[in-house]
Structure 1
Amino acid sequence: MHVFYTPDLGDNEFYSLNEEESKHCAKVLRLSIGDKIQLIDGRGGFFEAEIISAGKRRVDLKILSRQLAYKKQYHFIHIGIAPTKNIDRLSWFLEKCTEIGIDEISTFICDRSERKILKEERLDKIITAAVKQSLKAYHPQLNNAVRYKDFIQQDFTKYNGNLFIAHCEQDSQKLFLGDLAQPNQSYLVLIGPEGDFSSEEITLAKSYGFKPITLGESRLRTETAGVAACFELNYINR
């Protein structure tokens, strides 16, 4: 059954897809009156609906069933990551982490960042497509890019000390993420750019309570490290 993203659905009995989703439904998929589809609102709502009117610019639906807090998780995963020079690699990270399970994504500009401008609207569409493909009822939040030094100074008390920074420098304090993170918690993991965090950025993170971690023996690309951290935290909460 085809899935559509409907963030403004609410508790209505009837609903009309927006023009973009209507075009995809009627013109691309060629669905028609009587066909059933699934809807997700990005806030935990999962719905089944029937098409009662199908035009190229507007498709009207009748809601048949609804599930709230669909597959709700009791942990929260937030990854802060420096954008990759090749935007396709960042897009891949967003897609795969959404499929695996992530709640919030922040991007920040580091001393060694080669990419400093992002088109968040395009990136958010990649997340939306992955949400639909993987049948996720919750849409991850994508925050606008900020300077690393501004990001690190935010109030992160809700994470109860589950703050981690993955870096490649030699550090006797580094432990495996899986040995530090406990299930059913909120986590924030920082992933640096291709050239890694600078020593000053690592020291700054530590001063704000971030614990240095390793994600294994291999040196990973930025986007691979982000996916590895996301997978490991989901595995802990399996």
Structure 2
Amino acid sequence: MQLFYNPEINLETQQFTFPTDESKHIVKVLRKKTGDTLQISNGQGDMFVAEILFPDHKKCTAKVIEKTHYDPKPYTLHMAVAPTKLNDRFEWFLEKATEIGITEITPIICDHSERKVIKKDRMDKVIQSAMKQSLQAYLPLLNEAITLKEFLSNSMEGDLFIAHCEEKEKTELNMRARPKSNTTILIGPEGDFSTNEIAMALEKGFLPVALGQTRLRTETAAIVACTTLALKNQ
């Protein structure tokens, strides 16, 4: 099954038009015709089956014939991750985290960050593509990049964890993580969090966690964290 994404439709929608890029893909590439059906997600928990009315490659129009709402997962996971020096590694994290199951992502700029700017539009597309490929009803939220200090100034609830590389007492995330909980995890840049940043996070209530016995790349650490939480909630 191929899934399409359209954030403009909801359970009240009866007829709609795909944007130009999707219309072209449906008509020119997939060669869909009048009467053919498509599977669609609005990224907000609703899935639809739509029948094509007018297969125009610029404005493909369809009518909704089936609607289903899916409840969200019994947990939320907010990953605050420093962008990697190479864009493709961070995009790989976004893709895999979406497939595994993540609620929200905030790119954080840290003292040791080598990359301080991200292309949010491009990364939004990576997440949308991964959502469609993995046939999911919910689209993870990608926030604008902010400094770690700004991030920590926000009020946060639930389980708060920081994964860092300093030789200090830490508990394995697998032991700390709880099922059906709201969790926020901090993952630092290639050069790790600075000592000052770790201290700030601890003051805000973040608990230090380990992600295994080996030192992991930023994107690998983030995926291990996502997987750990997903397995806790199976």
In structure 1, runs of 5+ residues without a counterpart are none
Q: Distance in 2 between the 1:147 and 1:184 partners?
A: 29
Task: Name the residue aligned to 2:43.
Answer: 42
Task: Name the residue aligned to 2:102.
Answer: 102
Task: Name the residue aligned to 1:82.
Answer: 82
- How far is 1:77 from its partner? 0.6
State the identity as a percent: 45
Task: Name the residue aligned to 1:203.
Answer: 199
One-letter identity of the residue aligned with 1:175: T
Aligned length: 233
TM (norm. structure 2) is 0.98
1:93 equivalent in alignment to 2:93:
yes
Task: Name the residue aligned to 2:188.
Answer: 192
In structure 2, runs of 5+ residues without a counterpart are none
- How far is 1:64 from its partner? 1.2
Q: Distance in 2 between the 1:39 and 1:15 partners?
A: 12
Could you say what the CA RMSD is over the residues aligned between the two structures, in angstroms? 0.9
- How far is 1:2 from its partner? 2.3
One-letter identity of the residue aligned with 1:211: L
- How far is 1:72 from its partner? 2.5
- How far is 1:122 from its partner? 0.6
- Are the counterparts in 2 of residues 104 and 140 from structure 1 also a CA contact under 8 Å? yes
Q: Distance in 1 between the 2:193 and 2:116 partners?
A: 15
Q: Distance in 2 between the 1:113 and 1:101 partners?
A: 26
Task: Name the residue aligned to 2:64.
Answer: 63
One-letter identity of the residue aligned with 2:45: G
- Are the counterparts in 2 of residues 71 and 137 from structure 1 also a CA contact under 8 Å? no
Match of 1:221 among 217, 221, 227: 217
- Are the counterparts in 2 of residues 33 and 53 from structure 1 also a CA contact under 8 Å? yes
> Where has structure 1 moved over 4 Å in runs of 4 or more?
none
For residues 68-117 of structure 1, the C-alpha deviation after alignment (integer angstroms, 9 at most, x for no partner) is 1x252110011000000000000000000000000000011100000011
- Once the two structures are superposed, the pairs formed by residues 54-203 of structure 1 within 5 Å of their partners are 54-68=55-69, 70=70, 72-157=72-157, 159=158, 162-172=159-169, 174-203=170-199
- Are the counterparts in 2 of residues 127 and 140 from structure 1 also a CA contact under 8 Å? yes
Q: Distance in 1 between the 2:71 and 2:39 partners?
A: 15
- Are the counterparts in 2 of residues 81 and 107 from structure 1 also a CA contact under 8 Å? yes
- Are the counterparts in 1 of residues 2 and 133 from structure 2 also a CA contact under 8 Å? no
Residue 55 of structure 1 aligns to a residue whose secondary structure is: coil
Higher alpha-carbon deviation: 182-191 or 70-79: 70-79
Q: Distance in 2 between the 1:60 and 1:156 partners?
A: 43
Q: Distance in 2 between the 1:167 and 1:72 partners?
A: 30
Q: Distance in 2 between the 1:224 and 1:75 partners?
A: 22
For residues 43-69 of structure 1, the C-alpha deviation after alignment (integer angstroms, 9 at most, x for no partner) is 00011111111011011111111111x
